Structures are given as structure tokens and as C-alpha cells.
Amino acid sequence: MIIALYILSAYFIGSMSWSVWIGKWFYKTDVRDFGSGNAGATNTYRVLGSQAGTAVLILDALKGFVAVKLVSLSPLYADKVSILLLVGFIAVLGHLFPIFADFRGGKGIATLLGVVIALHSGAALMAMGVFIASLLITRIVSVSSMTAAMSLPFWLIYRFQEPSQVLIIFSFAIALLVVITHRKNLRRLLRGEESKVNFQRKNRHEH
């Protein structure tokens, strides 16, 4: 019963669609109607600017982090990696199919990041470093997200010698999930049509 409550809470936390809410509250805009149509940090940055995009990135990551940490605070489940992973997965599922936003969510990358930070902050920081390095080189968010996700198992196995096989398997699942959710981006990459980040772009609201 307690686990069921944690799972339900994780789904509702994951369903908090900050990109949609911030867009509607402060910009009178539904970000899903512009850009890539995704309710995530990258499309929020593209449609509403850097301030809104950064806020959504942090808030979406917090969803995964909080969902897992709520369970880890319980002495009954603090060391149950499989339960923590399940709750984290449900939070990501909530982001992908949010009940508060007509089940039209984003790709779940930021929420996944929050889950990984809660489970293994060291590996998460390493993966974030890979993301930043890749973004500076390629200026393509999708490539950087996939590269960072695929580096996660490497850090867990070779840098931290993670003893939990469940966590390692989960890291491979994350890498696969991120690639699957970026199918459209991969097709655009093959056509040479994937958009790049303009680091000189001013913070502005444009469609």
C-alpha cells in the first residue's frame, strides 16, 4: 500500500508540466504549439527564451529528484534500489504523459537527470560534463543528450565500480530510452536539418 502511494505520488509529481504552465502563466503561450512541439526545457528555450528554458530545466529535474528522494527518506526503502528506480521511472512516465497537460509531455531528459542525481550524483555529474562538452562542440542538444545518456553506464562501471547490477542495467535502459525518444531528431540529423543552439541568442519571446 505504501509503495502504491509512492508510485502514485511520483506520477503526479512527474505530471507537473512546468513548460506548459510557465508558458501559459507568463507568456500566454503553449510551447507545444511552436518549435518541436515538445513540453520540455529545450523547446521552452527555443520558443520563450533562456530564462524560461533554464527555469523549466531546473524544475523538471527537481521532479525526478524529489520523487526518488521522498522514497529514500523512508528507512523501509532507502536501500531498495529497485523500488527507487521504479519510482524514478514512474516520475519520468508522468513527464512523458502528464495528466495535468492532456498527456502531451516532453522527452523526459531533465526528469531522468533528476532521478540519476538522486540515485548516483557522481555519475550524474560526469554525464552532465559530457553533455556540456558535446553541446559546446556540436551545438546540438539532441546529440548532447544522447551522448551524455550513453556515457552513464561507462561512468558507473569504470569510474565508480558501482556494485548494484540493477542500477547498471537501469543506466543502459536510460541510454536506450533517450535514443528511442530522439527518433525524430535522428531523422533530422541524417537529413542535416537538426537545429543548433545559438549561444549568442538574446533572451526574448518569439514564435
| pTM, to two decimals | 0.86
Nearest to 168 by CA among 120, 111, 107: 120
pLDDT band at 204 (very low <50, low <70, confident <90, very high): very low
The answer, yes or no, to whether residue 199 has pLDDT greater than 50, is yes
Interior CA angle at 149 toward 145 and 155, to 5°? 135
Query: Among 145, 146, 144, 168, which Cα is nearest to 156's?
Result: 168
Neighbours of 125 (CB within 10 A): 12
Q: In angstroms, rounded to a whole number, what is the distance separating the alpha carbons of residues 143 and 95?
A: 21
Is the pLDDT reported for residue 207 higher than 50? Answer: no
Number of Cβ within 10 Å of residue 76's Cβ equals 10
Please tell me the distance from the alpha carbon of residue 183 to that of residue 197, in angstroms, as a whole number.
Answer: 19
Q: How far apart are CA 169 and CA 177, in angstroms?
A: 12
Hey, where are the domains in the chain?
Answer: 1-107, 120-199
Q: What percent of the chain is modeled with pLDDT above 70?
A: 95
Contact yes or no for 109/57 (Cβ under 8 A): no
Segment 166-188 shows an average pLDDT of: 91
What DSSP string runs through 160-180?
S----HHHHHHHHHHHHHHHH
